[in-house]
Amino acid sequence: MVLPGVVVAHNGTVTFEQKVQAAVLYGGEGAAVSGDALIHLTKPRGDGPTSIDVAVAASRQVAPYSFFVPHRCSRLADLTHPVRVPPQIRIAPAVLHAAAWAPTDRAAKWRVAAAVQRRLVTVSLLRDALQQLPKLPRRRGIRLVLDDVELGAHARTELDFLAFLRRNELPMPDTLQFKVRANGVRYLDAWWDKQRVAAEIDGAHHMDVGSWDDDAMRSNEVLVATRDDRVLLLRVTAGNMRHQEVQLATQFRAVLL
């Protein structure tokens, strides 16, 4: 027995897919897998989540048990895919559920960005689905991250950087992943056209010696390629945003405002 009243007819290891089926059966009539579990079921990566989120009818009272995590949802039939087995929420509202049920706001943002980056869903479909979920938690934050993803943000550091700009009431960049050419194509993480300012956002992997050397050369090449335009290139690390936000905001304010 994997859940009360639900058994698997073999003695081997219970697979993730079997756990999903068991969780949906345990959730009762109309229940459908959603959130992180549905994302993994659609495009597996690794072992999958240890908890399985199941959307259940708003009228049902069912408690969490083992790996089964219920979420009461209204208009459940409208959100459920008409033919897929086991019963599952359509991918766009399922991604929004994953964001709403995530443990932190930052984790919620990453779930939305990662789903678009992995081509599970488009920003347009997510916007449409958001209209169907007027009581969804974190709606405002989700709308903002959809704006960020549409601008081109996919990495966690890029999302954190755009959030840093908003917190400090700084202008949003005109584009992300801006191309410049210097003996080839180089990309800048953020670009403000009017101010001729670029920003490079460095994650932890940039501290590797090889990456550090490559980053230094790339920065030089960008400045050489744009020397006639007098481009100002600023470097930003996750540590700057986390521990030196006031000083960093002052620097960006000096060149952007």
Q: In terms of domains, do 120 and 222 share one? A: no
Do 168 and 145 share a structural domain? no
Q: Are residues 30 and 100 in the same domain?
A: yes
pLDDT of 209 above 90: no
Q: How many domains, the chain?
A: 2
Q: Residue 44's pLDDT is what? A: 93
Give the list of residues 6+ apart from residue 42 with CB closer than 8 angstroms, or none.
Answer: 91, 120
How far is CA 230 from its chain centroid? 35
Same domain, 21 and 144: yes
Q: Do 170 and 142 share a domain, yes or no?
A: no
What per-residue confidence (pLDDT) applies to 206?
41
Give the pLDDT confidence of 83-120 residue by residue, as tens digits.
999 999 999 999 999 999 999 999 999 999 999 999 99
**Tell me, what's the pLDDT at 203?**
58
Q: If we measure between CA atoms, which residue out of 167, 169, 98 comes closest to residue 129?
A: 98
Q: Do 192 and 224 fall within a single domain?
A: yes
For the cut 60, the answer to whether the pLDDT of residue 228 exceeds it is no
Report phi then psi at 127, rounded to 5. Answer: -65, -45
pLDDT given for residue 155 in this prediction: 81
pLDDT of residue 211: 53
Sheet holding 185-192, edge to edge: 175-181, 185-192, 197-202, 232-237
pLDDT for residue 130 is more than 90: yes
pLDDT, tens only, 181-208: 555 555 678 889 899 888 888 754 444 4
Tell me: the pLDDT tens digits for 38-67?
A: 999 999 988 889 999 999 999 988 999 999
Instruction: State the burial class of residue 223 (Cβ atoms within 10 Å of its Cβ: 0-12, 13-18, 19+).
Output: middle
Give the pLDDT of residue 205.
Answer: 40
| Three-state SS at 45 | coil
- Of the three residues 151, 172, 200, the one that is the final residue of a domain is 151
**Region of 80 on the Ramachandran plot (φ > 0 left; ψ -120 to 50 alpha; else beta):** beta
> Is there a single domain that holds both residue 247 and residue 120?
no
Adjacent-strand bridge partners of 33: 54, 88
Tell whether 133 and 27 lie within a shared domain: yes
The CATH number assigned to the domain holding 198 equals 3.40.960
Q: Which residues contact 219 (CB under 8 A, 6 or more apart)?
A: 200, 233, 235
Q: Residue type for 39, please?
A: I
Residue with tokens 């009360």: 4
Alpha carbons 100 and 89: distance in angstroms, whole number: 14
Domain limits for position 174: 156-256
pLDDT by residue (tens digit) across 73-84?
A: 988 999 999 999
